[in-house]
């Protein structure tokens, strides 16, 4: 790995002491220019590289800044100072979520940020004050404090700027609207998704195919990143042949990588890799004037993009080339990506901090359409009305306490004295009894394929596989269940549930009358498919703590964690598991269902074999992800070995070659069948992705910066 530049090493060494860290922060506030599109991103990058400040350093910073409502109106003709101050506060709030963030949001700081939203303030100061308030509100106590300041009334005024012709005010309007929908819910206000007209929208950004911190507008056509990571998104429509075009309007002129990507392109937002950073995507970067492919770049001849520019993206799959346009001026076509992918392309983009743009997939006229004949996504795509809805976290359903709490031991017939501790949940089901299980029967909801005519079989199979991948409208398990043991003091448990809901999780509340029902309740939570549970006992209420239970292959229990640490752990575990639980895209689900249906029918032509009932039951348990004991896994392995021996015996070699007339496998079946997932490409290594010129593996390969 390359060493970071000397200037970065010097800054890091300076910031290791309280005085040095304060000097770095003061320099950032003092010297970052207002007109540099990368200015706020540089503040985030440099503070992210510095060591975390001590409690004393934060207190000294608060004393030095001495923020108040009056300070917000001082030096109004020097907005750079206020913009940089609010950007620093937002960055620190993001890094220091918890008690440190609470301490930093003093009454004076809150007053300063609120006054920075006044109509007299410069729009860029308003923008970063709003972002700072959003990041402070990641801590629940801060959110309550900010909400009580009547911020929603101020935001309701700024929301009207969401479609403003001034692109800076448009950013303020976007963030105000997003905060009203997701953070500071205003009583009596309808969510934006309930008001937006999507009748003519047939393709949009896919809210189910996006990295975790990207903000997508209710229209599905505008996206923004205010996180320190490199956030990415693909659209809902995939193309395999023909000529296609879409346009993007630049709202911010910083680092974005926009272009084309297949499903195989990976979003590694925290490592700084996005569109154009693997062999399955190619991107245009108008800020740094580069074309990105496979994490390597080459310069292009266009000038730097600016707010309001129209960027065109033409994909010609017949000629295997893609072209990029800036306000109608075309670059030479790019062809590198077609060495790895020739179909399955989506419009896609990655965003560095504080970047925003609007997509046009053909729902309205293009500003600079190319001279060649092309198709548009909106012309050929289709979305069901519910697929167009992008729910804000504030509108996601919050499941209330179950109306019937779990009974106590004295009210139950199934007394389990030995297993009433939730540490024994993992051992509570015993499948070691050598019972001869009855033959497995398919679910009554599944079509009985064997009873159908040949012409109907494929349709029934397709329906079964599609529902497996895309879901059939059944109730989804909660992302986290909050389980309270004392139904007399539920406010604390409810507050934990609401905090998780506000962070985007689907939460279910459950309470017990007595601890004796705990094991049974946890079994039900686990069998419902919820991966996480927060347990609140009476002692947790006074200590502001809780126990986090993680239902993985082995039960993991984190007892009596402080509230904020517990919430952070739940979010981390949710993020780790969410990609595996994410519902399949409809297009992908249809393709995979079709593939599996054909594969099933091909296999049905072959000689069938009997499966012992006990083995069939074990295979069912394995398919459900339930615990299997070593001897049961041994039984499955022995059965598989016997099947292999049978197939080999049925394929004798004649003169060193297998006799095709006795081979029980059709051509191509030696390859992994479609139902086996394709191995993921390895995470980019230093040899695959060269270290950026800054020497820092930061979003978008690092940003060239000058030392303050």
Cα–Cα dist 54/44, whole Å: 18
- Identify the DSSP state of 351: E
Is residue 1 assigned to a domain? no
Question: Greater confidence, 566 or 653?
Answer: 566
Q: In terms of C-beta density within 10 A (0-12 exposed, 13-18 middle, 19 or more buried), how is residue 523 classed?
A: middle
Cα–Cα dist 468/446, whole Å: 11
Which of 189, 214, 243 terminates a domain? The answer is 189
State the alpha helices, DSSP H only, in 510-609. 518-528, 538-543, 563-581, 586-604
User: Do both 546 and 643 map to the same domain?
Assistant: no
User: Do both 388 and 408 map to the same domain?
Assistant: no
* Weakest-pLDDT range from 59-63, 326-330, 497-501: 497-501
User: Do both 277 and 411 map to the same domain?
Assistant: no
Cα–Cα dist 38/694, whole Å: 15
Residue 89, pLDDT above cutoff 80: yes
pLDDT at 460: 73
pLDDT at 548: 94
Residue 483, pLDDT above cutoff 70: yes
Cα–Cα dist 220/39, whole Å: 28
CA angle 387, 399, 564 (to 5 degrees): 100
Over residues 112-128, mean pLDDT: 96
Total domains in the chain come to 4
Is residue 457 assigned to a domain? no
- Residue 401 in contact with residue 490, Cβ under 8 Å? yes
User: Do both 390 and 527 map to the same domain?
Assistant: no
DSSP per-residue codes, 449-483: GGGS-HHHHHHHHHHHHHHHHH--SPPPPPSEEEE
User: Do both 212 and 105 map to the same domain?
Assistant: no
The separation between CA 215 and the C-alpha centre of its own chain, rounded to angstroms, equals 10
As a whole number, the mean pLDDT across the chain is 81
φ, ψ for residue 160, nearest 5 deg: -65, -10
User: Do both 573 and 638 map to the same domain?
Assistant: no
Confidence (pTM) = 0.62
Residue 508, pLDDT above cutoff 70: yes
Question: In this prediction, what percent of the chain has a pLDDT beyond 70?
Answer: 76
Query: 284: domain CATH number?
Result: 2.60.120.920
pLDDT at 410: 38
pLDDT at 445: 42
Is residue 586 assigned to a domain? no
User: Do both 547 and 562 map to the same domain?
Assistant: yes
pLDDT at 12: 83
* pLDDT band, very low/low/confident/very high, at 447 (cuts 50, 70, 90): very low
Q: What is the pLDDT of residues 179-203, one digit of tens each?
A: 999 999 888 899 999 999 999 999 9
- Identify the DSSP state of 308: T
CA distances to 21, 242, 304, 621 from 383, rounded to whole Å, are 51, 21, 35, 36
Q: How many CB atoms lie within 10 A of CB 157?
A: 12
User: Do both 217 and 309 map to the same domain?
Assistant: yes
Over residues 151-160, mean pLDDT: 95
pLDDT at 346: 98
Cα–Cα dist 44/93, whole Å: 11
Q: What is the pLDDT of residues 373-416, one digit of tens each?
A: 999 999 999 999 989 999 887 555 544 444 334 443 334 344 34
Most confident of 5-9, 43-47, 324-328, 414-418: 324-328
* The length of the chain, given as a count of residues: 708
Over residues 292-315, mean pLDDT: 97
User: In three state form, how does the secondary structure of 434-446 look?
Assistant: CCCCCCCCCCCCC
User: Do both 383 and 416 map to the same domain?
Assistant: no
Q: What is the pLDDT of residues 332-354, one digit of tens each?
A: 999 999 999 999 999 999 999 99
Q: Which two tokens stand for residue 360?
A: 């046009």
* pLDDT band, very low/low/confident/very high, at 453 (cuts 50, 70, 90): low
pLDDT at 411: 40
Most confident of 12-16, 272-276, 620-624, 660-664: 272-276
Q: What is the pLDDT of residues 228-240, one digit of tens each?
A: 999 999 999 999 9
pLDDT at 199: 94
Handedness of CA 113, 114, 118, 120 (dihedral sign): negative
Cα–Cα dist 314/325, whole Å: 8
Is residue 613 assigned to a domain? yes
pLDDT at 433: 38
DSSP per-residue codes, 638-701: HHHHHHHHHHHHTS-EETTEE-GGG--S-TTTTSPPTTSPPPPPPPP-TTTSPPPTTS---GGG
User: Do both 388 and 409 map to the same domain?
Assistant: no
Is residue 570 assigned to a domain? yes
- Residue 564 in contact with residue 102, Cβ under 8 Å? no
- Identify the DSSP state of 54: P
Over residues 110-124, mean pLDDT: 95
Instruction: Provide the terminal-to-terminal Cα distance of the chain, rounded to the nearest Å.
Output: 25
Question: Greater confidence, 701 or 320?
Answer: 320
pLDDT at 655: 46
User: Do both 235 and 319 map to the same domain?
Assistant: yes
The separation between CA 396 and the C-alpha centre of its own chain, rounded to angstroms, equals 16
Structural domain containing residue 621: 609-650
Over residues 429-435, mean pLDDT: 37
Is residue 233 assigned to a domain? yes
The separation between CA 242 and the C-alpha centre of its own chain, rounded to angstroms, equals 31
User: Do both 115 and 242 map to the same domain?
Assistant: no
Cα–Cα dist 553/545, whole Å: 25
Cα–Cα dist 398/495, whole Å: 12
Question: Greater confidence, 644 or 316?
Answer: 316
Residue 652, pLDDT above cutoff 80: no
- Residue 565 in contact with residue 514, Cβ under 8 Å? no
β-strand 555-562 against 545-551: which pairing, if any?
A: antiparallel
Cα–Cα dist 578/261, whole Å: 21
Over residues 293-319, mean pLDDT: 97
Is residue 679 assigned to a domain? no
Cα–Cα dist 5/26, whole Å: 21
Question: Greater confidence, 359 or 636?
Answer: 359
Is residue 12 assigned to a domain? yes
Over residues 460-477, mean pLDDT: 64
Q: What is the pLDDT of residues 602-651, one digit of tens each?
A: 787 776 777 887 888 888 888 776 777 888 888 888 888 888 887 777 66
pLDDT at 430: 38
DSSP per-residue codes, 160-212: GGGG-SSHHHHHHHHHHHHHHHHTSPPTTPPPHHHH---TT----EEEEEE-T
Question: In this prediction, what percent of the chain has a pLDDT beyond 90?
Answer: 49
* Weakest-pLDDT range from 25-34, 172-181, 620-629: 620-629
Over residues 17-34, mean pLDDT: 95
Query: 419: domain CATH number?
Result: 3.40.50.800
Which of 581, 597, 630 terminates a domain? The answer is 581
pLDDT at 24: 95
Cα–Cα dist 463/447, whole Å: 9
- Residue 74 in contact with residue 114, Cβ under 8 Å? no
Over residues 482-497, mean pLDDT: 81
pLDDT at 538: 83
């Amino acid at each position: 790995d390359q060493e970071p530049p000397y200037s970065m090493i010097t800054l890091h060494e300076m910031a290791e002491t309280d005085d040095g860290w304060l000097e770095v922060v003061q320099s950032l506030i003092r010297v970052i220019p207002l007109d540099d599109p990368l200015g706020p991103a540089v503040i985030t990058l440099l503070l992210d590289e510095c060591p975390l400040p001590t409690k004393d350093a934060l207190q000294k910073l608060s004393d030095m800044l001495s923020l108040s409502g009056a300070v917000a109106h001082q030096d109004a003709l020097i907005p750079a100072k206020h913009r940089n101050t609010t950007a620093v506060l937002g960055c620190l709030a993001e890094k220091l979520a918890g008690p440190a963030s609470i301490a930093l949001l003093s009454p004076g700081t809150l007053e300063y940020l609120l006054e920075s939203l006044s109509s007299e303030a410069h729009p860029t100061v308003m923008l970063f004050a709003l972002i700072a308030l959003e990041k402070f509100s990641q801590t629940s106590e801060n959110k309550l404090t900010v909400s009580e300041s009547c911020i929603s009334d101020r935001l309701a005024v700024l929301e009207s700027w969401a479609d403003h012709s001034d692109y800076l005010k448009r950013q303020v309007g976007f963030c105000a609207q997003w905060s009203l929908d997701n953070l500071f819910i205003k009583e009596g206000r309808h969510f934006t998704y309930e008001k937006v007209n999507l009748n003519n929208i047939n393709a949009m950004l896919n809210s189910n195919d996006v990295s975790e911190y990207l903000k997508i507008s209710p229209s599905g056509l505008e996206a923004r990143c205010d996180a320190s990571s490199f956030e990415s998104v693909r659209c809902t429509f995939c193309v395999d042949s023909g000529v296609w075009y879409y346009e993007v309007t630049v709202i911010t002129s910083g680092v974005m990588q926009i272009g084309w990507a297949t499903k195989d392109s990976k979003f590694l937002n925290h490592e700084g890799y996005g569109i154009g950073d693997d062999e399955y995507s190619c991107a245009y970067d108008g800020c740094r004037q580069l074309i990105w492919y496979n994490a390597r770049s080459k310069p292009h001849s266009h000038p730097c993009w600016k707010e309001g520019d129209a960027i065109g993206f033409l994909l010609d799959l017949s000629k295997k080339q893609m072209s990029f346009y800036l306000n109608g001026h075309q670059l030479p076509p790019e062809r590198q990506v077609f060495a790895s992918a020739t179909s399955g392309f989506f419009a896609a983009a990655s965003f560095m901090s504080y970047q925003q743009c609007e997509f046009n997939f053909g729902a309205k006229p293009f500003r600079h359409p190319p001279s060649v004949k092309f198709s548009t996504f909106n012309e050929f795509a289709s979305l069901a009305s519910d697929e167009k809805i992008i729910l804000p976290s504030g509108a996601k359903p919050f499941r209330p306490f179950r109306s019937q709490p779990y009974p106590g031991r004295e009210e139950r017939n199934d007394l389990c004295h030995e297993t009433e501790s939730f540490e024994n949940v993992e051992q509570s089901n015993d499948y070691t009894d050598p019972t001869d299980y009855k033959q497995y029967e398919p679910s009554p909801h599944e079509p009985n394929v064997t009873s159908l005519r040949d012409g109907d079989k494929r349709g029934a199979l397709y329906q079964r596989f599609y529902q497996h991948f895309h879901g059939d409208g059944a109730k989804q398990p909660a992302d986290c269940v909050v389980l309270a043991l004392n139904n007399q003091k539920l406010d604390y448990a409810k507050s934990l549930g609401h905090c998780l809901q506000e962070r985007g999780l689907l939460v279910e509340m459950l309470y017990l009358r007595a601890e004796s029902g705990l094991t049974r309740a946890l079994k039900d939570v686990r069998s419902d498919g919820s991966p996480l549970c927060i347990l609140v006992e009476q002692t947790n209420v006074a200590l502001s703590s809780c126990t986090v239970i993680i239902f993985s292959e082995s039960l993991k229990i984190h007892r009596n964690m402080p509230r904020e640490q517990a919430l952070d752990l739940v979010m981390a575990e949710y993020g780790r598991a969410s990609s595996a639980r994410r519902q399949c895209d409809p297009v992908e689900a249809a393709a995979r269902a079709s593939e599996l249906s054909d594969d099933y029918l091909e296999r049905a032509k072959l000689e069938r074999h009997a499966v012992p009932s006990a083995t069939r039951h074990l295979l069912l348990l394995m398919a459900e992800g339930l615990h299997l004991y070593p001897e049961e896994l041994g039984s499955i392995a022995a059965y598989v070995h016997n099947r292999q021996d049978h197939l080999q015996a049925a394929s004798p070699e004649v003169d060193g070659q297998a006799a095709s007339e006795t081979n029980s496998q059709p051509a191509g079946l030696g390859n992994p069948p479609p139902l086996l997932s394709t191995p993921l490409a390895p995470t980019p290594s230093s040899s695959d992705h060269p270290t950026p010129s800054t020497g820092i593996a930061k979003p978008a390969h690092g940003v060239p910066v000058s030392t303050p």
